[in-house]
Amino acid sequence: MLWVNIKRIIRAGVMNFSRNAFVSLAAILIMTVTLFAIGSVIFIVVGLNASLTEIRNKVDISIYFTVGANDQDILSVQKSLEALPSVVRVAYISQDEALQNFKDRHQGDSLTLQALDELGDNPLGAILNVQAKDPSQYESIASFLKSDSALSAGESSIIEKINYFDNQVAIDKLGKIIQAAERLGFVLSFILILISIIVAFNTIRLAIFISRDEISVMKLVGASNKYIRGPFVISGILYGLIAGVLTMAIFYPLTRYVGVATANFFSGINFFSYYTENFGQFFLLIVGSGVVLGAISSYLAVRRYLKV
């Protein structure tokens, strides 16, 4: 008996969907816009995160050591930095590498290169480039370097300079910009998705409003609330399913068209590559969101006419 009722509910839901073709089309289009907004937010968040990650990766501080500092002492500093939970990476640049990098940066400056040659000896010390998980953590790393007793060789410090203190204002400002961008992205995403869901919900309510007389008749003949709700929930699921597939179909040519542009704008993130590589997850998310949204919206919208 249960299976018979389920088949009847599914059949009635499909009939409601096909009988009210114009209303169904309107609901599908609105839900497609809703799911497109959700998908667009996902792409924007992915691109924004990639851009912020690239910015973080480009920010570091350099520790300049005195000329002739013992390599063992420098490696000891490197190990102590790598042990810090706030540090992602520590890159060691030897005296010879620092000299070569200096020459490469001043290839067109013959006077500087000539003066360097006249010195004879290498005037540059070794360098450690330190990258933190977040720009806000560089202050604590710099403080650690200034206070740690292991940084001294004998009685004199082997550290000549930490450039964090020269760039402190810029690093702090960058950290605030990143935090503000993350908060703004979350707020805009939440608002956009919320508005889209409300619009889709009201569209489905309109579709059910057209069938209010039918619901009243079914109540009068003794149909249960579950039996009345069922067909509308099935219709809502169909709205979401078709809208989800349609949204996925729209994203394919769109991401293909803008893929190269997004790779240049969002730090190498090609939206088309992201779409194809994560198609399964994206399909489940978009189509699943459509099905859930359609079912829940239909379930809630019909309550008004059931008087429950």
Are 131 and 60 spatial neighbours (Cβ–Cβ below 8 Å)?
yes
Give whole-number Cα distances, 30 to 16, 38, 110, 205, 249, in Å. Answer: 18, 13, 66, 12, 16
Indicate whether 183 and 45 sit together in one domain. yes
Indicate whether 8 and 92 sit together in one domain. no
Indicate whether 227 and 249 sit together in one domain. yes
Q: What is the largest CA-CA distance in the chain?
A: 105
pLDDT for 267: 64
Last residue of a domain, one of 103, 131, 157: 157
> Measured between alpha carbons, how far is 16 from 18 in angstroms, rounded to an integer?
6
With respect to residue 229, please indicate whether it lies within any of the assigned structural domains: yes
Strand partners, 127: 64, 93
Indicate whether 96 and 197 sit together in one domain. no
Q: How do 87-93 and 152-153 pair as beta strands?
A: unpaired
Query: pLDDT 10s per residue in the chain (308 long)?
Result: 566 666 776 776 677 666 767 777 877 888 888 888 888 888 877 877 777 777 767 777 888 888 877 778 888 888 888 888 888 888 888 877 877 777 777 676 667 667 667 666 777 788 888 888 877 788 788 878 776 544 544 445 778 788 776 666 666 676 677 677 767 767 776 776 677 667 767 776 776 777 677 777 777 777 677 777 778 788 888 888 999 999 999 999 888 888 777 767 666 678 888 888 889 898 998 999 888 888 887 777 777 666 54
pLDDT for 248: 92
pLDDT for 284: 92
With respect to residue 162, please indicate whether it lies within any of the assigned structural domains: no
Place of tokens 């070794």: 126
What total number of domains does the chain contain?
Answer: 2
Indicate whether 241 and 291 sit together in one domain. yes
With respect to residue 268, please indicate whether it lies within any of the assigned structural domains: yes
pLDDT for 247: 92
Indicate whether 186 and 302 sit together in one domain. yes
With respect to residue 286, please indicate whether it lies within any of the assigned structural domains: yes
**Can you give the residue range of the structural domain that contains 224?**
2-55+174-306
Q: Is the pTM of this model over 0.75?
A: no
With respect to residue 241, please indicate whether it lies within any of the assigned structural domains: yes
Q: How far is CA 4 from the centre of its chain?
A: 46
Indicate whether 218 and 293 sit together in one domain. yes
- Stated length of the chain: 308
Indicate whether 136 and 228 sit together in one domain. no
Last residue of a domain, one of 128, 157, 186: 157
pLDDT for 231: 80
Three-state SS letters, 32-77? HHHHHHHHHHHHHHHHHHHHHHHHHHHCCEEEEECCCCCHHHHHHH
Indicate whether 107 and 147 sit together in one domain. yes
Last residue of a domain, one of 103, 130, 157: 157
pLDDT for 174: 66
pLDDT for 150: 45
pLDDT for 250: 92
